[in-house]
Amino acid sequence: MLTFYNEHHAQHRGRHEMFRGALVPCFEKPERVDMVLAEFERRGLGRIVTPHGVSLVSLERIHTPRYLHFLRNAWSEWVALDEANADKDAFPSVWPIRGMRSDIEPDNFAARMGLYSMDSGTPLTAGTWIAAKTGADCAVNAAHALRLGERGTFALTRPPGHHAGADFFGGYCFLNNAALAAQHLLDDGASKVAILDIDYHHGNGTQSIFYGRNDVLFISIHADPRTEYPFYLGHANETGEGEGTGYNLNLPLAAGSTPAQWFLALESACVKLASFAPDALVVSLGVDTFAGDPLSSFALQSGDFLRIGERIAHTGLPTAFVFEGGYAVGEIGINVVNVLEGFETAN
């Protein structure tokens, strides 16, 4: 397993997030990656390298130029409003909703931040851009390595990415690493690519990016959005539109679903993958399906993550894993590396 490590991930370190009406310590924190890295090194699962930087043009294959411009400059604009802001994270406070315009970018910073966000639980910090950009570098490098002959690669990075859309952030995500990896594979010669999202939460950003396309199959196994974030996307009847009709498969599961029910959904996903016959696979690897996760109501155990890796390996596809969610920090390293080891050792 060739791993691309984001050595700048800890520069994105939120002080607080809004959760159930209160400011609480961030669930998405640097220790998540630190624990995975330590476990990966302990098992000696493969080489760990730093990525080559990719151009902004590569990011513009997925994200809009004006959104990228906002992200690159947001912190300096935030601090320019008031020097005291250097000691505060930036949060949105106003959003355009139905009937309001989003085509005109406001001059007001707070209004622009709301234009490009989907929630109040994703703090923007002094190091957000460098951490997110280096994470995108990791994902694109992991995809490129597949085209150079690697069977499996891993982008070990944070902040995660699958909630970020073409022009918005949220759900702890700023740049959509899985989407960038898939697009790079296509740009590098693949004719079809699949993305399998196994995070507890639906990858709404990834779905929205590819919803009208037939060169990327998006499959997501996740908690029912009627009760779980991101709430407004991820239902089973969302199957794509236009040329993308039939190329989006959502497999929502009820709160409290058992491991047996989860693995039944994984089997359905793998059957769909086989019929699509992609040239490569990108896996949005979230492990917040773990029974001990504070933001989950599923019941997977650490041993189940070995089985996940084994089943993905049996698809026979070159696979780039991209780290997403998982907030049971004490077990996160074991759970993530179990998936990778299961993939690597599958017969």
Give residue 288's pLDDT.
98
Catalytic positions, written as ranges: 163
Per DSSP, the three-state class of 343 is helix
Pairwise CA distance, residues 199 & 160, whole Å: 11
Supply the pLDDT for residue 18: 85
pTM greater than 0.95 (yes/no): yes
Q: pLDDT at position 168, please?
A: 98
Chain-wide mean pLDDT for the chain? 97
Q: Helices 128-147 and 177-187, interaxial angle, to 10°?
A: 40
Q: Which of 156, 147, 135 is nearest to 39 (CA)?
A: 156
For the chain, which residues score pLDDT lower than 70? 347
pLDDT tens digits along 163-183: 999 999 999 999 999 999 999
CA distance 229 to 89: 22
Residue closest to 262 by CA, chosen among 313, 219, 312, 221: 221
| 2-51+128-345 CATH pick, 3.20.20.60, 3.30.160.100, 3.40.800.20, 3.40.50.300 | 3.40.800.20
Q: Are 276 and 217 in contact (CB under 8 A)?
A: yes
Fill in the DSSP letter of residue 5: E
Query: For position 77, what pLDDT does the model report?
Result: 97
* Domain extent listing, the chain: 2-51+128-345
Is the distance from CB of 6 to CB of 135 less than 8 angstroms?
A: yes
